[in-house]
Amino acid sequence: MNLRTLLKTMYLRVFPSYERELERAIGDSKTVLDVGCGYPSPIRRFSKKFYSVGVDTYQPSIDKSKAEGIHNDYLNAQVLEIGERLSNESFECVLASDLIEHLTKEDGWKLLEMMERIAKRKVIVYTPNGFLPQGEVDGNAWQAHKSGWTPAEMIARGYTVIGVNGLKSLRGDFSLLKYKPTWWWRFVSDLTQKFLKRFPNSTFHMLCIKQIKLK
C-alpha cells in the first residue's frame, strides 16, 4: 500500500463517505433490490457481498452497470412497476438512492409503500434534504427533480434519519461544493459531517433507514 492510499484509507476511517454509511446501513443483508440503480450505483464498491438486482428504466445506465458487473441481475422497468413485478418480502433490503426526488410527491409516497412491502428486513432511502432544483442530465429526462423531502416526513413514516454530506449551505447544484479550493471545502464539509450526523435538518443529504422486521 503506497502512502497516498494509506492516507486516503485513514481519512475515510475518520470521515466516512456516503458509500461507507450505506454499506453499514445494508449490513448483513443477503439480498438487495437497488431501485433506480442508474450508473454508477453507490453499492458498486461492495456489491459482491450480497445478491443484488438493479432496477432502472434507462437502458444505457443498465448497459453500463451490466458491463461492470455491479449487480447480479437487472430489471428494465419503471420504478413504480416494482409493486406489480416483485413479490412481497422478496428482498431483505430495498434501496432507493438519489431516486425519490425524481418523482412527484404523490408517486414518491407510492414508491415508499411498494418498497416497504417488498422489503423483508429494511428499506433505505437516500435523498437531498429539501428540494434541490435540477433538470435533465445527458439527455435523460428522468434526472429532473420533481419533489423535495424532509427529515420530519421520513421520521413520521418510521425511518431513522442520518445527516450526510455535511453542512447544507456548503453545496449547490448536483451536490457540488460551492467554494474553492475544492479540497479545502471538502475537508470543511467532512468535518461538519462529524458533528451534524445526528442533526439531518442541517445537512445536504439524508440517509433514511426503516427496519421492517428484525432478523
pLDDT at 1 over 80: no
CB-CB contact of 149 with 104 (8 Å): no
CB-CB contact of 41 with 19 (8 Å): no
Q: Which residues of 192-211 are buried (b: 16+ CB within 10 A; e: fewer)?
A: bbeebbeebebbbbbbbbbe
Please state, in angstroms and rounded to a whole number, the distance separating the CA atoms of residues 27 and 209. 12
Please state, in angstroms and rounded to a whole number, the distance separating the CA atoms of residues 34 and 174. 21
What average pLDDT is seen over the chain? Answer: 93
The continuous run of DSSP H or E covering 76 comes out as strand 73-76
pLDDT at 215 over 60: no
Query: Which residue in 204, 126, 132 sits closest to 166, CA to CA?
Result: 204
Q: What is the pLDDT of residues 16-25, one digit of tens each?
A: 889 999 999 9
Name, in order, each residue with C-beta under 8 angstroms of 200's C-beta and a sequence gap of 6 or more. Answer: 129, 151, 161, 162, 163, 164, 206
Query: Which residue in 10, 11, 13, 29 sits closest to 21, CA to CA?
Result: 13
Please state, in angstroms and rounded to a whole number, the distance separating the CA atoms of residues 164 and 19. 10
For the domain made up of 12-164+200-211, the CATH class stated in words is alpha beta
Residue 136: per-residue pLDDT: 65
